[in-house]
């Protein structure tokens, strides 16, 4: 699945350190604005305890996890929508992403420069959201000007439908309200806008609160984190607390030491693992599994895809010659203990071309391609 999330934020909030940790790579993370100019791309493994369970059961020759793309994008400053700083590059890079992970600085440090000189999560979030809204405002205004003659003179049905979406969008954006938070639109209208208008502030978002090491185990006492959490809740968005420095240290450790380190923090999984899972889910990406002695593999599919479409993810011939899918739910395998027990319990299903795959399906595709 060629979907990706962009890591955004003001300069020096921890974006590149987060990216280094999340991809275990080594991009520049300098203590000055615009250290990141061109977007860095990283492919990350999607943590999945279900695949670990399947591997332990089938003992395959190899295990392949689902993956997800993250972009580390240059820091934004006030006036980006008008080209200030690296605004044009920043906005263009976001346009290429499917979701936004907005890193917000939630720690004090005299050693790390803040582009606005003080730490204020709400102000920082407002700056970025306003710049995206203003860029969208220009795009919406231009589109309205283009379709208005069709609405007034021709009475074109499509133009009228779009006009009724763009008009409330323009009013919201003018106030600095993100397109995704425009309450005057129905879900159907939002879906249309997302598909046809390509607005930056319509993209789904996750807030990443970068807290101090000392606050990581006591988030209730971190006032900055609580501010970000409250803002995210008001938008129906998710807020993931991380300490980018700690996460980077964790990313350098071997698996067994990583778990020991997390245990000392009282955590079962890292903040970064939570972020990867949240970003994956935010884009309505789901996972099905194929298992055998040669390979256990997690495959990514988009929610709503049919069995033949998912078969095509493995190989186009699987989709062309699709006959049926033999499917059982991962939870049933976990409950009954073996594939044989799942079959004997009547939990193995034969599904046809209309079946819509579900997250956690373990599947064997039967197909036939005549040459």
Q: Which residues of the chain have pLDDT under 70?
A: 1-2, 25-39, 74-89, 113, 370-371
H or E stretch at 178: none
- The token pair at 210 is 């970068």
* pLDDT at position 204: 94
Which residues in 222-237 are b (16+ Cβ under 10 Å) and which e?
bebbbbbbebbeeeeb
> How much is the pLDDT for 94?
86
pLDDT digits (tens, 9 = 90+) for 140-153: 999 999 999 999 98
What the block records as the tokens of 12 is 């020096």
3-state secondary structure of 153: helix
pLDDT at 91: 79
pLDDT in the model for residue 32:
38
Instruction: Give pLDDT, residue 36.
Output: 40
Q: For residues 200 and 91, is the Cβ–Cβ distance under 8 A?
A: yes
- The reported pLDDT for the residue numbered 27 is 42
Q: Residue 330 CB: number of other CB atoms within 10 A?
A: 21
Per 3-state DSSP, what percentage of the chain is helix, strand, and coil (rounded to 5)? Answer: 45, 20, 35
Q: What is the dihedral of CA 176, 178, 183, 187, to 10 degrees?
A: 160
User: What is this structure's pTM?
Assistant: 0.84
Given this model, what pLDDT does residue 82 score? 59
In this structure, what token pair is assigned to residue 335? Answer: 């409950």
| pLDDT for residue 29 | 41
Reported residue count of the chain is 371
Judged by phi (left if over 0) then psi (alpha if -120 to 50, else beta), residue 360 lies in: left
The DSSP 8-state label assigned to residue 152 in this structure reads I
Token pair recorded at residue 349: 């299903």
Pairing of strands 322-329, 349-351: antiparallel
Q: How far is CA 293 from the centre of its chain?
A: 32
């Amino acid at each position: 699945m060629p979907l990706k999330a962009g890591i955004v934020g003001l300069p020096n909030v921890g974006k590149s350190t987060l990216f280094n940790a999340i991809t275990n790579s080594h991009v520049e993370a300098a203590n000055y604005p615009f250290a990141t100019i061109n977007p860095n791309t990283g492919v990350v493994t999607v943590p999945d305890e279900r695949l670990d369970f399947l591997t332990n059961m089938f003992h395959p020759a190899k295990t392949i996890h689902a993956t997800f793309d993250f972009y580390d994008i240059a820091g934004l400053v006030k006036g980006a929508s008008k080209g200030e700083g690296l605004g044009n590059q920043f906005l263009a890079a976001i346009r290429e992403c499917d979701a936004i992970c907005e890193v917000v600085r939630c720690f004090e440090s005299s050693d790390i420069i803040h582009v606005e000189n003080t730490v204020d999560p709400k102000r920082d979030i407002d700056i970025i959201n306003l710049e995206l809204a203003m860029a969208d405002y220009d795009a919406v205004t231009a589109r309205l000007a283009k379709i208005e003659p069709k609405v007034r003179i021709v009475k074109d049905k499509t133009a009228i439908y779009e006009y009724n979406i763009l008009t409330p969008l323009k009013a919201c954006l003018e106030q600095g309200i993100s397109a995704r938070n425009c309450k005057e639109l129905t879900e159907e209208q939002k879906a249309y806008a997302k598909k046809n208008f390509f607005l930056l502030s319509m993209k789904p978002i996750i807030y990443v609160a970068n807290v101090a090491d000392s606050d990581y185990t006591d988030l209730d006492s971190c006032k900055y984190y609580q501010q970000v959490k409250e803002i995210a809740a008001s938008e129906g968005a998710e807020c993931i607390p991380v300490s980018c420095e700690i996460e980077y240290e964790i990313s350098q450790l071997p698996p067994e030491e990583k778990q020991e380190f997390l245990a000392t923090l009282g955590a079962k999984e890292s903040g970064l693992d939570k972020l990867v899972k949240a970003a994956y889910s935010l884009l309505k990406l789901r996972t099905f599994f194929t298992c055998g002695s040669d390979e256990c593999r997690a495959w990514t599919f988009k929610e709503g895809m049919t069995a033949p479409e998912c078969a095509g993810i493995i190989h186009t011939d699987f989709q062309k010659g699709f006959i049926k899918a033999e499917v059982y739910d991962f939870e049933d395998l976990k409950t009954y203990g073996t594939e044989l027990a799942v079959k004997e319990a009547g939990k193995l299903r034969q599904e046809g071309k209309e079946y819509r795959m579900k997250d956690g399906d373990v599947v064997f595709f039967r197909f036939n391609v005549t040459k």
